Copies of this chain bind each other. A is one copy, B any other.
Amino acid sequence: MRLLEEKILSEGIGIGTEIIKLDSFLNHKVDVGLTARIGEEFARIFEGSGANKVLTVEASGIPAALATALAMGNLPLLFAKKSAPNTMLDGAFSAPVKSFTKGTLATVRVSKAFLGKEDRVLIIDDFLATGEAAIGLLDLVRQAGARCVGFGAVVEKEWQGGAARLRDLGYRVESLAVIASITDGKIIFKRNGC
């Protein structure tokens, strides 16, 4: 997605060889117009997938996932929680997830009331890195007896292997910007090398 790649080049900051800071438009301050375009792009890509629910994980996956659900005709959005609020009374599916950027181990949870075997789930997240978060969300889908129709990432860090890992498991993965490497702070995209 050209508009997104341009934004990454103009505002993204590569840190070392592993981290890219996109907090000026993606996961802290949010460029709302770009987010709407991201949602429309995912809706175009996953048209015909049969998705009836969008799943993400709090917090920074929510903007892109909401925009996608809007663009797909107001599909229900479900965001997995990393803590167990005292209003989650009816039981939850849960799975462990290691955060690459925070270095912490979290548990993601969704209420059993909101994910079931009738669901065809499109998973959307801001980053796809090692795939830990995606694997955790897929575990929730599997526990519910639901089916995952695809995984959409706004930004994929290809060299960290998450997309390959998910494809090896048989899932469809679509990333709007695929970064091949970060070298001396320079961000190299996979397809066009710009």
Residues of A within 8 A of B (CB): 15, 19, 21, 23-24, 28-33, 35-36, 58-60, 62-63, 66-67, 69-70, 74-79, 81, 83, 85-89, 101-104, 110-111, 113-114
Contact = CB atoms under 8 A, between A and B. Distances in A.
Contact of A36 (B15, B28, B33, B74): B74
Residue with the highest number of chain B CB atoms closer than 10 Å, among A23, A69, A75: A23
Nearest to A100: B86
B101 A23 contact: no
B59 A28 contact: no
A111 B29 CA distance: 9
A29 B77 contact: yes
A86 B102 contact: yes
